[in-house]
Structure 1
Amino acid sequence: MVAGRLLAERQSRHRMKHPLLPADYEDPRLALVEVTAAWETEGTSGAVLVEDGEVTGYLLGAPKPSAVWGANVWVEQAGQAVRDPEMMRDLYAVAAAKWVAGGRTAQYVLVPDEVELVDAWFRLGFGAQHAHAVRPVPVEPIAMPDGLIVRRAERGDIAVLAELDLVLPRHQALAPVFSAGEVPTLEEALADWEESIDDRDYATFVAERNGQVIGCSIGCSIEKSSAHSRLAQPDNAGFLAYAAVLPEARGNGAGRALGDSVLNWAADIGYESVVTDWRVTNLLSSRAWPRLGFVQTFHRMHRMIGY
């Protein structure tokens, strides 16, 4: 129960800065459910901090079975809470000894947007890798720029949508992101769109300039995203799941218009906020989405041991 109280306290502090995050987990009983789930994840290990006979912090990490992430360990949303952020460094020193001894040298941690806690992880050798962010829906519809048409995608757009599916992973394979994520083949993307174009759970928009489709964006319910669940999932929220513009068409406002289209859609649906995420080394998205009003709520930080 103590760990649940610690996590509930963390969520309360977090919501003072980011009130769109869910209030439910300020209840220690619900927070304890999340700590318990983290503890029961296969392969979990960690450390607890005991001061004067009282538990005042904990850290839990578990591996993910993915070749992309390397021999890894992840500290997820409910995997850490501590009253004194500086003491997270002591918790990590104990937990990481076992992780590294087990060969878990690729380490990832999802850190709530608390300045002192982020700084503690920074001083443990972790750097920013990925941003999670949220913003309220617009009060009034956002107008599209002149010369650009943004509309819902149609079956006749499948060929260009498949091309656009490859744009983001190809871009993120380049400097300065250097992502190791797999780039699908055009044939795979075509097959996926043939199957999913009529899926009403997703709102797909395309941007046209001079009669040519140059970009797309996708909106859906936040429940479709496993990365934005539980403590990181605002109530009644939409999700900006994807956006890409052909390289030769960038710089004319299409990316912003596509993001705004998802915001307008979310407001029309009746959502109260919209969530998105991005690689912080992606220079395009890390500048575009904050300009649309997205405010970072969680920092995914990363350290590779031994280099």
Structure 2
Amino acid sequence: MTTTIRRIGPDDAQDADLVAALGALLADRHRAHRIASPLLDPAYEDATHATQHLRAQLADEQTAGAVGLRDGRPVGYLIGRTGDGPPWGPSVWMESGWVAAPDAELLRDLYTVAAQDWVDAGRVAHYVLVPASSPELVDGFFRLGFGLQHVHGIREPARCEPWAGAGTIRPATRDDIPALAALDRALPLHQGRSPVFAAGHLPTLEEAREEWEEEFDDDRFTTLVADVDGEVLGSAMACALELSGLHRGPVLADHAGFLGFAAVLPAARGRRLGRALGEAVIDWAAQSGYRSVAADWRATNLLSSRTWPRLGFEPTFLRLHRLIGH
């Protein structure tokens, strides 16, 4: 049966039948995904909810993509939103609910149609979030030149035994702000080196201190520190997952806590302080009544990509990346 691929964009948000069909495809995809990752939000299994999500995204003037049709019926879609802001530059993002296709070949056809317009406009950095449990989508993007960049994971909260090593994990105080500022630099400095090579924004110590002074009392965030003999050697931040700008759509688990940041000073690494901080956040999520706790990490960060899975964080979504050059 012949498949026709055509472009879609904001004007198609008004086509109720088309958007409803796309919503049904997303609901089917999410239903299969939750067999492997049952902690994800069940709301997207409902076609009406999925349709509302896609209609709102497709109506955005920065959103466009492609749909596959067989006998006039949508069988797959791919949409992306263009962006220009730092640190990504001219780019295209295909978010966690914006791709559905039954097989890798249809996915490759959809991307072929959508990507030409993006590249013609100078947007050569492409990012996509795909279910980790979908070999068809992962394989299709890999064979389009994408590689693994980032991993989203989730697990159930649980009470954890207090850290039994030297020192303690405790809530941060204002006296810890100079140490917290130094730790704010430790993570981007680490990720700027091999094999990650993705430092992102590196604040000065003064900038980091000023930000901590302004935001320390924000009760939406819980900051923990690893204190060894009165010296703060590591820190972690926990909050509700919806406060993270990287979690939208199906990747946003319902009523989930979030391990949003963790860092240990270079000289203190190898003492299991990162693991202790992670366990403390898992314990915090259990005490706070969250249904799940999420984390995300760069696949090339050898420390986090080993520590967080060992703490039980199961991959839910993979962020794949393609940078088109000569």
TM-score, scaled to structure 2: 0.91
What is the CA distance between 1:51 and its match in structure 2? 1.5
Counterparts of 1:11 and 1:210 in 2: how far apart (Å)?
48
Deviations 1:225-262 (A, max 9, x none): 12123311222210001000000000001000011111
Match of 1:160 among 179, 203, 217: 179
Partner of 2:196: 177
User: Is the counterpart of residue 219 in structure 1 residue 220 in structure 2?
Assistant: no
Partner of 1:240: 259
What does 1:176-215 align with in structure 2 at a 5 Å threshold?
176-215=195-234
Greater displacement, 160-169 / 191-200: 191-200
Deviations 1:74-98 (A, max 9, x none): 1112211122343101111111111
What is the CA distance between 1:142 and its match in structure 2? 2.8
Deviations 1:20-77 (A, max 9, x none): 0011111111101111122122322211101132110011111122142132111112
Counterparts of 1:201 and 1:306 in 2: how far apart (Å)?
42
Match of 1:117 among 117, 131, 137: 137
Matched to 2:218, the amino acid is D
Are 2:157 and 2:291, in contact at CA under 8 Å, matched by a contact in 1? yes
Greater displacement, 20-29 / 59-68: 59-68
Matched to 1:202, the amino acid is F
Counterparts of 2:107 and 2:161 in 1: how far apart (Å)?
43
Partner of 2:271: 252
Partner of 2:98: 79
Counterparts of 1:101 and 1:218 in 2: how far apart (Å)?
41
Are 1:6 and 1:83, in contact at CA under 8 Å, matched by a contact in 2? no
Q: Which runs of 4+ in 1 moved over 4 A?
A: none
User: Is the counterpart of residue 100 in structure 1 residue 131 in structure 2?
Assistant: no
Partner of 2:157: 137
Match of 2:30 among 6, 11, 16: 11
**How many pairs does the alignment contain?**
306
* 3-state SS of paired residue (1:50): strand
Matched to 1:156, the amino acid is D
What is the CA distance between 1:180 and its match in structure 2? 4.9
Q: Any gaps of 5 or more consecutive residues in structure 2?
A: 1-19
What does 1:222-301 align with in structure 2 at a 5 Å threshold?
222-301=241-320
The Cα RMSD (Å) is: 1.2
Are 2:94 and 2:127, in contact at CA under 8 Å, matched by a contact in 1? yes
TM-score, scaled to structure 1: 0.96
Are 2:152 and 2:317, in contact at CA under 8 Å, matched by a contact in 1? yes
* 3-state SS of paired residue (1:150): strand
State, as a whole percentage, how many aligned pairs show the same letter: 50
Match of 2:147 among 127, 135, 139: 127
Matched to 1:133, the amino acid is G
* 3-state SS of paired residue (2:246): helix
Counterparts of 1:184 and 1:301 in 2: how far apart (Å)?
27
Matched to 2:162, the amino acid is A
Counterparts of 2:124 and 2:166 in 1: how far apart (Å)?
50
Partner of 1:34: 53
Greater displacement, 59-68 / 269-278: 59-68
What is the CA distance between 1:146 and its match in structure 2? 2.4
What is the CA distance between 1:116 and its match in structure 2? 1.9
Counterparts of 1:141 and 1:279 in 2: how far apart (Å)?
25
* 3-state SS of paired residue (1:137): coil
Are 1:177 and 1:279, in contact at CA under 8 Å, matched by a contact in 2? yes
Q: Any gaps of 5 or more consecutive residues in structure 1?
A: none
Matched to 1:126, the amino acid is F
Counterparts of 1:76 and 1:172 in 2: how far apart (Å)?
23
Partner of 2:72: 53
